[in-house]
Amino acid sequence: MSYTSEELAMLAYVPQMIGSAVAAASGSGLFGTGKELFASASSVLEGVKSFPNNALIKQLVPDPAVDRTKAMEQMKKTRDWAMARIKAKGVDSADKLKTQIIEDTKAAAAILASKASATEADEYRQWAMSVAEKVAKASSEGGFLGFGGEQVTAAEKALIEEIRLALGAAASEIKEDKVTTGDLGPGRKMQPKVGANVKAKATITSRPLLGRKVMITAGPTQEPIDMTHFIVNHSSGEQGYLLAEVAVALGAETVLVSGPVNLPLPPGAQVRMANTASDMLEICEQELPCDIAIFAAAVSKWRMAGSPEKLEVQIGGVRELKLIENPDISKIIATRTDKRPAIVIELTAETADVIETSRKKLLTKSCDLILVHDVGDSSGMFRADSNTLHLISAHQVETWPRLSKREVAQRLMAMLAAKLAPR
């Protein structure tokens, strides 16, 4: 579906001006602080990297990795268009800017509803919201020299929620009269004619995690022994990455905390890389609060005592290594007295006494759920498509059939979304 130049200008303008509106809501002035505006610009540019296959976003912001000059020129062009627009609208205060950006965000949502494919529209909304959230976190408010302040103010949170609702408003009101044959737009399928004035309505009910935040750990951790050797658990990270992909599809703000893996990044997820268990714990704590925390990483249980140093080679000799236990990340998060996620679940593998061992682990870690793979018959390998799975809660054990890793991700995320749904 083609867009008019005015429609493209509006769609390019909204993410940039969302950043300014959030900065203004924080009390940083009509166009925010330098740090917040830099966060806004960098977040807009990240849209291309986060959604490399989104043809609409590519029209709005050229890929800076291909031609950064062209990308910056396009952003300046959009900024000039925005300045002319808000001047024409008489915007001269933070309150007026907020009102105008909500109005224009609804206009952008209407354009998406009428012309964009479902995937393009979803990814555009994620992109725009990532700008709002990154700007809000760019500077602490109310502290002294940036310390001790509230990272995201109540005013910012309120505006972000209004923007989220404005972006999704038109998504539940898409109507097509007299649907017969022909092109319904990229990504949409033609429907057979079933009568006059047929209305095809798309809703956001398939995005039950919209407005929720999900944090997922994945992959192994690496604990250095010296400059060239390390302790590591076996893990491809695939299960965690698939969980992140499904969480994004369900509408969640998704943060993937990943150890070293060789996998493509899941589109739409915020990926934060961690090397050691301590790194992973620190990032997880930074990403709180969240609604769901899924611990799928194969965290090394041990690390070297003291600072790793280069070990001298001893031919035929024995080298003793002093090891200490790593922090238990899921337990630390599950036992927090503040900012504890509503649901904490750990994915694990056991070889013997699977259910009883997992029940004890559930209690000692204070998790809400444990999804355990019975790997007793597969030489300890974590293969979701060939092992029995058990979902352990405080009151029951639910045994799942043998599933592919993608099916595990889909089933688990659907179940977690249902647990958060209002009753």
358 SS3 class? helix
Residue 112, token pair as written in the block: 């998406």
Local structure of residue 171 (DSSP, 8 states)? G
212 contact partners, CB below 8 Å, separation of at least 6? 251, 252, 253, 291, 292, 417, 420
Residue of 120, 84, 112 lying closest to 100 (CA atoms): 84
In 10 A of CB 78, how many CB atoms? 23
Q: For position 308, what pLDDT does the model report?
A: 62
Asked if pLDDT for residue 198 goes beyond 50, the answer is no
Q: For position 175, what pLDDT does the model report?
A: 32
Local structure of residue 150 (DSSP, 8 states)? B
Residue 415, token pair as written in the block: 């179940």
Residue of 77, 79, 45, 83 lying closest to 61 (CA atoms): 45
Greater pLDDT, 259 or 354: 259
Asked if pLDDT for residue 163 goes beyond 90, the answer is no
Q: For position 364, what pLDDT does the model report?
A: 93
List, as one string, the DSSP characters of 52-79. Answer: TT-HHHHHHS--TTT-HHHHHHHHHHHH
Instruction: Check the CA dihedral 294-297-302-305 and report its sign.
Output: negative
HEC letters along 252-283? CEEEEEECCCCCCCCCCCEEEECCCHHHHHHH
Report the C-alpha gap between 290 and 340 in whole angstroms: 8
* Burial classification of residue 88, based on how many CB atoms lie within 10 Å of its CB (0-12 exposed, 13-18 middle, 19 or more buried): exposed
When pLDDT is averaged across residues 351-366 and rounded to a whole number, the result is 87
List, as one string, the DSSP characters of 184-236. Answer: --TTPPP----STT----B-STT-TTTT-EEEEEESB-EEESSSS-EEE----
Report the C-alpha gap between 378 and 111 in whole angstroms: 52
In 10 A of CB 167, how many CB atoms? 24
What confidence tier does 312 reach under pLDDT thresholds 50, 70, 90? Answer: low
Asked if pLDDT for residue 41 goes beyond 50, the answer is yes
Mark whether 53 is an active-site residue. no
Q: For position 135, what pLDDT does the model report?
A: 66
Could you read off the pLDDT of 252-306 as tens digits, one per residue?
Answer: 999 999 998 888 888 889 999 998 999 999 999 999 999 999 999 999 988 878 7
| Cβ atoms 261, 236 nearer than 8 A | yes
- Does the bond joining 289 to the residue before it have cis omega, within 30 degrees of 0? yes
When mean pLDDT is compared across 147-156, 282-291, 300-309, 361-370, the lowest value belongs to 147-156
Domains and their CATH numbers in the chain = 5-171 (no CATH), 213-420 (3.40.50.10300)
Task: Say if strands 253-258 and 302-304 run parallel, antiparallel, or are unpaired.
Answer: unpaired
Asked if pLDDT for residue 78 goes beyond 50, the answer is yes
Tally helices (H) and strands (E) across the chain: 12, 12
Report the C-alpha gap between 155 and 138 in whole angstroms: 15
Mean pLDDT, the chain, integer: 76
Asked if pLDDT for residue 187 goes beyond 60, the answer is no
Greater pLDDT, 225 or 142: 225
Catalytic residue among 54, 197, 233, 262: 233
Q: For position 380, what pLDDT does the model report?
A: 42
| Cβ atoms 24, 32 nearer than 8 A | yes
Greater pLDDT, 217 or 124: 217
Report the C-alpha gap between 350 and 107 in whole angstroms: 53
Q: 């919201």: which residue's tokens?
A: 129
Could you read off the pLDDT of 42-66 as tens digits, one per residue?
Answer: 667 766 677 778 888 888 887 777 7
| Cβ atoms 287, 257 nearer than 8 A | yes
In 10 A of CB 358, how many CB atoms? 22
Asked if pLDDT for residue 32 goes beyond 70, the answer is no
When mean pLDDT is compared across 45-49, 121-125, 193-197, 324-328, the lowest value belongs to 193-197
17 SS3 class? helix
253 contact partners, CB below 8 Å, separation of at least 6? 129, 133, 212, 213, 214, 270
Output the furthest CA–CA distance in the chain (Å, rounded): 86
Beta bridge partners of 214: 254, 292
> Helices 5-25 and 154-169 meet at what angle, rounded to 10?
160
Q: 């319904």: which residue's tokens?
A: 184
Asked if pLDDT for residue 207 goes beyond 90, the answer is no
When pLDDT is averaged across residues 197-202 and rounded to a whole number, the result is 31
Task: Say if strands 292-295 and 270-273 run parallel, antiparallel, or are unpaired.
Answer: unpaired
Measured in degrees and rounded to the nearest 5, phi and psi for residue 256 equal: -105, 115
